[in-house]
Structure 1
Amino acid sequence: MLVKLLASVILLATQAFTANVSASYHYELGLNSTAYQQQFDELLQHGYRLTYISAYSDEHNQTLFSGVWKKTSTSVPWTARHGLTGSQYDTLSTQLKGQNYHPVVLNAYNLPNGEPRFATIWEKASVGTWEQQRDMTEAQLKAKVSSLGQLRITILTRYVVGNQVRFAATWGKRTATDWHGDWFYSLGKTSFDTGSASDGYKAISMNAYSVNGDPIFDVVWQRVSSGGWDAPVMSYQTSGVDKDTYGRTYKGYVGTGFGPRVLTGYYLEGCGIQYAATFEKDS
């Protein structure tokens, strides 16, 4: 199943532009922890920074990682970690918050033995008020959303503690680029096709999970303007594609000036690992 995937976008890709934009990005799918760390270290040496990371399990309950990197000349300090326990994440959060960093990606996952772990990316930049909380039940998450009405969710992820589902989330200040501050989140949907790109919404945080061999999605949608009140950020989304199909989709989108933004995998019974992703017009 492809969601809002425009075949014409792929067909219109030009060789010159593809080479130019492709050089700015790199992605990896389905790496184990060792291979992921090796790739991370190598890309770091070549001037790439990690912009998205996700972790998920395959049919053998092996933990796999996928990531998106971008080569950038900006000097915004950043740091990334994976494999953190809850207490390790709390310690890192305290340390980084004291240094004026804030989380931009947080993905929770469970190891084969059931223990929860966290993968995260932080940036050092002025973002105003923000909050985060983990180990919330769904009821606690909804209550927190209501109590923080002046803020909006920026990251949402789930994991399991024992046999109970728990959520971790971050909230941030609404910004001038928010379209009327419009945003919403969706939990446990069986389809990624919940937001409407034509209405200016894009997925700013997305995680997919396999439950009894079927996928569910937790997504945060934000309506964002590119500068004009009626000029939404151009973005497209795709879901339910295998590794090869994602590669072709990626090539088509970067060929027309779109960059990969969000990427995650999930196990689908009878099909193996599938991928869900978003692409956004590169600035």
Structure 2
Amino acid sequence: MAADNPPFVARHSLTSSQYQDLFSSLTQQYYRLLYISGYTVSNEERFAAYFEKSSGPSQICRHGMNSSQYQQAFDDATTKKYNLVLVNGYTDSNGDDKYVAIWEKPAGSAPSLVARHGMTTEQYQKEFNDWTGKGFRLTHVSGYAYKNSARYAAIFEKVTNSPTWSARHGLTANQYQAEFNAQTKAGFVLVLVSGYFVNGIDYYAAIFEKKASYLWVARHAMSSKTYQGEFTNNHYQGYRLKVICGYAKGNTDLYAAIWENPNMKGKDLSFIDSQIQDYMSKNSTPGLSIAITYQERLVFAKGFGYADKATSEEVHPNHLFRIASVSKSMTAIAIMKLIEQGKFSLNSKVFGSSGLLETIYGSKPYGQRVLNITVKHLLEHTSGFSNDGGDPMFMNTDLSQKDLISWVLDNRTPKNVPGTTYEYLNFGYTLLGRIIEKSSGQTYELFLRNQIFNNVSQTSKMLIGGDSIADKKPNEVTYYPSSAYNLLLRRMDAHGGWIARPMDLVCILTRTDQSNIKPDILNSNTITTMWTGSSANSGYGKGWILDSTYRGHNGAMSGTIAFLVRRNNGISYAFTVNIRPTDDSFAFKCKAVLDAIVDAVDTWPSYDLFEK
């Protein structure tokens, strides 16, 4: 990452031992603890923390301290001329107050500092009035419960040239939201939020400053799952976590957090949001996910809308979507890899005693046109077979994949001479999947996962999807309408069966695009061949749409549209949607929206957000 984007680690819901192990490991790797909060869930102490690999003052960090231990640690640190920069209180399973804290040793003279903990609401208000009256300002506050009443820990500093600031405490969720709205409307920035439960009610304490800042976002009362989704969405937009407060209501852990974005311009993020939201509104779209790379670096990804409307689960970049016929490009990559391995050639015959699939399928003798079909014909949709009478991959739902292939060979003859006529054919890619299995000795899914996706960072999450809603994979979205679950997705494996994240798809492109930035998994001549059109259709290569401005593939089926695009200007993108819009049934209108977005953003961040 760039100098202003050092590596970071954020974790939540850690037990004390898990946190200690993480702390020990990261500090040995020169990470610094920048924020920590403690809370108790199901009678067990938990911790949320944020570490960053960056330079800074020497630190003393402690967690799980009772009141007297904290006071002793404070006195010891003060003797060593360390200044307290964070203290967060919480209640343990016995109802006693506990503390986490960070001290830092300033390089020069330290500001005057006063710290208090265990204060009742009245005591805190008095301390606040007294110290601010003496020219100090509140730099940190933590609210927590103790014996059914609120307690506070706070730090006051005498800071010169401090921005205008304001602080509030003891706010209910509604009061906090109203205060937040009023403060931000007046130009203030939220710099700290502390959530805490007292007698079953969540309260908030906050500090606002009137200052110039990066674009920032804040959320509160998030469940663990919601927080993780919000964190993921924000991370892939260039935001960095600044504050994380965990707090508990009985056996439920909740989170309040603040992020800021030093990487993307506010106008660009607003434009992206407005364009996507407008498309979703016009097309009644439940959920949508996008990913964008620039010069093979993942620079942006975001989820929009709902992964599941019934549960109000919001889409984030780690959600898996069906990608429909974008699967064909994945199949083509696998075929080209097997050709490089010398398993067969583009001109290898598919059927007959010397063919790759021999006479495995069907019960009738093959005609000459069938015997003349090659691997190249299947890749280019020029096998001669036709969808006249219906697409066989959506017919005969009682037949297995093998029986369906036999049925087609027994009941349909190629309409055209192989190699002469282009007709888009899902069935042809189903045959390519079987060639992959026969030549590799592995199932189609395992070969792609083992030989393609596991060799490309982060794409190992790609899977063949399930047929029913009961077969949903972890982190897979729900598709709409319910008829989307009438498809036999596993039978469609090689032509439309994969589920993936958009950032998986663009990651594949970084390794199959003839760029010298990251090594490709296919050699350059192979990619050139894959991206060369046929005599029957110069606009379609071997599993890829070929255009003067891009290479890619769209996908569409009930409940899904998707698109993977590699533009000629160093930008690639992918999007997935969990409905097939009536007015955008082949995804080209959504593609136009993404084209407008990448054309409008003139500067992308220098980092690479792909998982290492």
TM-score, scaled relative to structure 2:
0.39
Instruction: Identify the match of residue 273 of structure 1 among 242, 249, 253.
Output: 253
- Aligned partner of 1:99 in structure 2 is 80
**1:174 is paired with a residue of what secondary structure?**
coil
Q: Name the aligned partner's letter for residue 152 of structure 1.
A: R
Q: Distance in 2 between matches of 1:175 and 1:199?
A: 23
Q: Name the aligned partner's letter for residue 83 of structure 1.
A: G
Instruction: Identify the match of residue 232 of structure 2 among 221, 243, 251.
Output: 251
Identical amino acids, percent of aligned pairs: 24
Alpha-carbon deviations, 1:198-220, whole Å to 9, x = none?
Answer: 64433433322233444222222
**1:87 is paired with a residue of what secondary structure?**
helix
- Aligned partner of 1:131 in structure 2 is 114
Alpha-carbon deviations, 1:131-187, whole Å to 9, x = none?
Answer: 1122322222111111112111112123445454332211012343x33x3222322
Q: Which has the higher helix share?
A: 2
1:155 and 2:140 correspond: yes
Alpha-carbon deviations, 1:218-237, whole Å to 9, x = none?
Answer: 222233x3xxxxx3443210
Q: Distance in 2 between matches of 1:32 and 1:129?
A: 35
Q: Name the aligned partner's letter for residue 46 of structure 2.
A: L
Q: Distance in 1 between matches of 2:160 and 2:214?
A: 15
**1:47 is paired with a residue of what secondary structure?**
coil
- Whether the aligned pair in 2 keeps the contact of 1:54 and 1:207 (CA below 8 Å) is no
Instruction: Identify the match of residue 156 of structure 2 among 158, 164, 171.
Output: 171
Change (3 A) 1:243 1:160: closer
1:67 and 2:35 correspond: no
Q: Name the aligned partner's letter for residue 274 of structure 1.
A: L
Change (3 A) 1:201 1:174: farther
- Whether the aligned pair in 1 keeps the contact of 2:168 and 2:207 (CA below 8 Å) is yes
- Aligned partner of 1:239 in structure 2 is 220
- Whether the aligned pair in 2 keeps the contact of 1:160 and 1:166 (CA below 8 Å) is yes
Q: Distance in 1 between matches of 2:149 and 2:197?
A: 15
Q: Name the aligned partner's letter for residue 115 of structure 1.
A: D
Instruction: Identify the match of residue 115 of structure 1 among 96, 108, 114.
Output: 96
- Aligned partner of 1:77 in structure 2 is 58
- Aligned partner of 2:188 in structure 1 is 201
- Aligned partner of 2:489 in structure 1 is none
Change (3 A) 1:242 1:164: closer
**1:112 is paired with a residue of what secondary structure?**
coil
The alignment of Structure 1 onto Structure 2 pairs a total of residues equal to 254
Change (3 A) 1:78 1:215: same
Q: Name the aligned partner's letter for residue 138 of structure 2.
A: I
Instruction: Identify the match of residue 24 of structure 2 among 41, 50, 58.
Output: 41
**2:76 is paired with a residue of what secondary structure?**
helix
Q: Distance in 1 between matches of 2:151 and 2:36?
A: 20
Change (3 A) 1:101 1:148: same
- Aligned partner of 1:183 in structure 2 is 166
CA RMSD of aligned residues (A): 2.6
Change (3 A) 1:186 1:117: same
Q: Distance in 1 between matches of 2:43 and 2:247?
A: 11
Q: Offset at 1:27?
A: 0.7
Change (3 A) 1:42 1:183: same
| Unmatched tracts of structure 1, length 5 or more | 1-15, 226-230
5 Å-filtered alignment, 1:193-232, equals: 193=177, 194-195=179-180, 196-197=183-184, 199-223=186-210, 225=211, 231-232=212-213
**2:94 is paired with a residue of what secondary structure?**
coil
Q: Which has the higher strand share?
A: 1
**1:113 is paired with a residue of what secondary structure?**
coil
Alpha-carbon deviations, 1:91-144, whole Å to 9, x = none?
Answer: 211221222211111111111111211100111114411111223222221111
Q: Distance in 2 between matches of 1:247 and 1:136?
A: 32
Q: Name the aligned partner's letter for residue 131 of structure 1.
A: V
Q: Offset at 1:273?
A: 2.3
- Aligned partner of 1:89 in structure 2 is 70
- Aligned partner of 1:8 in structure 2 is none
Q: Name the aligned partner's letter for residue 129 of structure 1.
A: S
- Aligned partner of 1:12 in structure 2 is none
Q: Distance in 2 between matches of 1:122 and 1:200?
A: 31
Q: Distance in 1 between matches of 2:50 and 2:196?
A: 19
Q: Offset at 1:188?
A: 3.7
Question: After alignment, is 48-57 or 193-202 more displaced?
Answer: 193-202
Alpha-carbon deviations, 1:238-266, whole Å to 9, x = none?
Answer: 12333333233223333343210111223
Change (3 A) 1:103 1:163: same
Change (3 A) 1:49 1:151: same
**1:148 is paired with a residue of what secondary structure?**
helix
- Whether the aligned pair in 1 keeps the contact of 2:148 and 2:199 (CA below 8 Å) is no
Change (3 A) 1:127 1:282: farther
Q: Distance in 2 between matches of 1:48 and 1:76?
A: 12
Change (3 A) 1:127 1:258: farther
Question: After alignment, is 252-261 or 95-104 more displaced?
Answer: 252-261
- Whether the aligned pair in 2 keeps the contact of 1:79 and 1:123 (CA below 8 Å) is yes
Higher relative contact order (CA 8 A, sep 6+): 1
- Whether the aligned pair in 2 keeps the contact of 1:155 and 1:204 (CA below 8 Å) is no
Q: Distance in 2 between matches of 1:203 and 1:117?
A: 26
- Whether the aligned pair in 2 keeps the contact of 1:197 and 1:234 (CA below 8 Å) is no
- Aligned partner of 1:141 in structure 2 is 124
**2:229 is paired with a residue of what secondary structure?**
helix
- Whether the aligned pair in 2 keeps the contact of 1:49 and 1:70 (CA below 8 Å) is yes
| Unmatched tracts of structure 2, length 5 or more | 264-612
Change (3 A) 1:210 1:130: same
Change (3 A) 1:175 1:197: farther
Change (3 A) 1:257 1:127: farther
Q: Distance in 2 between matches of 1:222 and 1:102?
A: 22
- Whether the aligned pair in 2 keeps the contact of 1:66 and 1:265 (CA below 8 Å) is yes
